[in-house]
Amino acid sequence: MAGIYIHIPFCKQSCSYCDFHFSTSLKHKKDLIQALVKEIKAKKSHFKKEINTIYFGGGTPSLLGKNELKTIVDVLYKNYSIADKTEFTIECNPDDLSIDKLKILKEVGVNRLSIGVQSFDNDELKFFNRAHNAAEAESSIKRSQDAGFSNITIDLIYGSPILTEDVWLMNLQKVKDFDVPHLSAYSLTVEPKTALAHQIKAGETPVLSDDKMIAQFKTLIQKTAAFGMIQYEISNFGKEGFYSQHNSNYWKGEEYLGIGPSAHSYIGNKRFWNVSNNIKYINALKNNEAYYNEETIDEKTAYNEYVLTRLRTIWGIEKNYIKHNFNSKINQHFQREIQPYLNSSYIHQQNDKVVLTDNGILIADKITSDLFYV
């Protein structure tokens, strides 16, 4: 399986915690669309696999109008082999999902919505500087279901300094009440140069509590399991048949093509990443200049990335895969470093696979770091 990711770097406003590449100015949107089209056409010689997943991320792709979406989608289908029943996801803000917008998304072939709810509490949404309110979050889900979208995922954030246990339980209960089949839940992270980082440094916002995050994460695991959801990746929970195919491909090491400023690609044993600047990206495509860098992934990096991605999932690390794909020094390192964990409550062995337990998930970063070959 292989996928294509399209990065749409525009947002209505800046969320306090976000460090993704985006712009709140739509001044260059038309030029950006033209550059995306040119890159899509240029990359077809690099990527000839059948496409099973399409993912529009950002930024806020739901800001695009019908003609803009159709232009990008048409050029994708004209230049690549797109499989039948391809999973086609678009990230959306709740305030963008009008009846008309949902009709447009259906028309261009979108069959999976990723709705950036983050919280169903107005105080939290103000703290995050989100553009929507709690009522819009709820109505967007209901409206999407009424429009015929059954494959819906929502995002929630836990660990904020104003999130109480009662509000967190309410947020999770909404997942059940709306019968949403997939949830991505992330702990609030303080990224450098974000508004949140500035607020904490200035003493305007309390330092985040690790104990609080752990407690809310444990609640998350318990509640989603009770809802019939499977934690197939540390931050992702889905009912049977509703796992994100696109993101699962990342974690399973499948190839993917990234289009747009800041987008990454993984093809063969190489990784590519585009310039994270809209104007530089647009001008480079317009003038046929270089707009991306690349690197060849060596054996050590390939091993470390395999450990990093697979250990986060229910598919775990396959010991035979390591044995047959990496040299003896890496194999010896893995066997030595994994051994103490095999006799603990942090790792569970399933035949050939090594999988994190619920306790192991809580220290996943440490286990991963120990297994890294440096």
| pLDDT tens digits, 220-235 | 999 999 999 999 999 9
| 3-250: CATH number | 3.20.20.70
3-state secondary structure of 209: coil
> What would the mean pLDDT of 41-58 be, rounded to a whole number?
93
Intrachain domains 3-250 and 299-374 with the same fold: no
Domain coordinates in residue numbering, the chain: 3-250, 299-374
Mean residue pLDDT across the chain:
95
Residue among 332, 295, 325 nearest 310 (CA): 325
**How much is the pLDDT for 19?**
77
**How much is the pLDDT for 190?**
83
Beta-strand (E) ranges in the chain?
Answer: 3-8, 51-58, 82-92, 112-118, 152-158, 182-187, 230-233, 236-238, 256-259, 264-267, 270-274, 292-296, 317-318, 347-350, 353-356
For residue 178 the two structure tokens come to 């709306």
**How much is the pLDDT for 198?**
85
Cis-peptide, bond into residue 109, ω within 30° of zero: no
Query: What fold characterizes domain 299-374?
Result: Arc Repressor Mutant, subunit A (1.10.10)
Residue 334 dihedral angles phi and psi, to the nearest 5°: -60, -45
> What would the mean pLDDT of 28-52 be, rounded to a whole number?
94
**How much is the pLDDT for 326?**
97
**pTM score, two decimals?**
0.95
For residue 130 the two structure tokens come to 């989100």
